[in-house]
Chains A and B, each alone.
Chain A
Amino acid sequence: MNKPLLTIGVTGLNAIDSPGPGVAVIRGLREATSFDCRIIGLSYESLEPGIYMHDIVEKTYQIPYPSAGMEVLMSRLKYIHEQEHLDVIIPNFDAELYSFIKLSDVLKNMGIHTFLPTMEQFEERHKVNLNAFGKKYNIHVPRSKSVYSVNEVQQLEKDYDWPLVVKGKYYDAMLAYNFDQVKSAFNKISAKWGLPIIIQEFIHGTEYNVTGLGDGSGNTIAAVPMRKQYITDKGKAWGGISIADKEILALTDHFLHSTKWYGGFELELMKDKNGRYYLLEINPRMPAWIYLAVGVGQNIPEALTRLAMGWSTDAFTSYEVGKMFIRYAWDMIVDLKEFEQISTHGEL
């Protein structure tokens, strides 16, 4: 039987030391059993490794940074769609999601499907709103406060114990053990990601992560918990193992059921010494380690694509426990012509 052929645009091709999820997502799509696919890479910079991985990415187009505005992005997507006839786009960066969520109806009218959280879901899970989120959905979260000036942190010293976690609006987090370190972290992170900065109470414990997929009606389509085994200096997992933890799965079900979450996600959790889980962060997209989920039997990129297309999709009910992923770096040899092509023409 012939399988349908889908043309899928994927962002996050920066498979670097702090990797975007794109390449891992593409590997899942390539292994999909219910459809074949052509992958169109959507890149921001000329040195994103995925651009040059021609065995898994058919063609790549550069797209404008979110700061260029939605009209510029839309115009570029229209051009790409004219060339490639995209069926689905899977955005993989937090910072670009706002634009893609806003444009999702327009894209749908053009025949391009997405499966993204609603704007309300996207906003309320934001780090800045995590306290309110925890209260609304009855989920333990560490206390945190958004600050616009480093001096505001001095007032928090009364309520919070050291160390404090200093977090950027979109990315980056640093641990600070005194006020001088807070200042340094505040300046570094705000210079990169802007304000506000989030100051969060530090929870001592063991970090766990879970990735999954919600169908938008409160059902869990997929959920795979993982413990990081090897963490880079940027806090990224370089190795991890799938685990069986009923509490994490119950927490994930509760999150999906109560928020009616649409799309892929990652929950970052901390288990304290009393065994209580705290939700540290909700990433509104698949994580860079999503291929572990594929490897243990839950092809989340495939299931997400099916949901985007409006196809019926069964929930996964099991996965292999005790499977590890170990990331590695791989030097590709690239002809200068290719670099020139993507740099000057914006496509390769």
Chain B
Amino acid sequence: MKIKNNIAVSDNGFVFNPGSGESFTVNPVGLVMLNMLRKGLSQSKIVATIIEEYNIDASSVERDLNDFKEMMRQYRLMQHDDE
């Protein structure tokens, strides 16, 4: 699964899905995660970057990242890799 290509994300963390018209806001950490997900970075690379930037343990980051991705999936902001 990856973030849908057409999702618009502003520097302030405002997320707009042009397909559904829905909009969301993400906090600064969410924005960092979202941007890395959009670039297609691997889970381990994203976790390592967050640990380095926010000085937090790996298991918390992994849990938060998985929660975040699940939430993105529920809000239909993700698509299958082959789409």
Contacts and interface: CB of A to CB of B under 8 A. Distances in A.
The binding surface of chain B is classed by DSSP as loop
Nearest to B76: A275
Contact of B18 (A208, A240, A244): A244
Interface residues of A, number: 13
Given A229-B21, A322-B18, A244 B8 contact: no
Interface string B15-53: 010111110000000000000000000000000000000
A73 to B, nearest CB: 39
B6 interface: yes
Contacts of B22: 227
Contacts of B16: 322
Contacts of A321: 18
Given A244-B6, A322-B8, A227 B18 contact: no
Contacts of A318: none
Contacts, number: 23
Contacts of B20: 206, 227, 243, 245
A215 to B, nearest CB: 27
A206 B19 CA distance: 12
A226 interface: yes
A175 interface: no
Contacts of B8: 322
A206 B75 CA distance: 13
Contact of B19 (A226, A229, A240, A243): A243
Given A245-B20, A322-B18, 10 more contacts: A206-B20, A208-B21, A226-B21, A227-B20, A227-B22, A243-B18, A243-B19, A245-B19, A322-B8, A322-B16
Interface of B: 6, 8, 16, 18-22
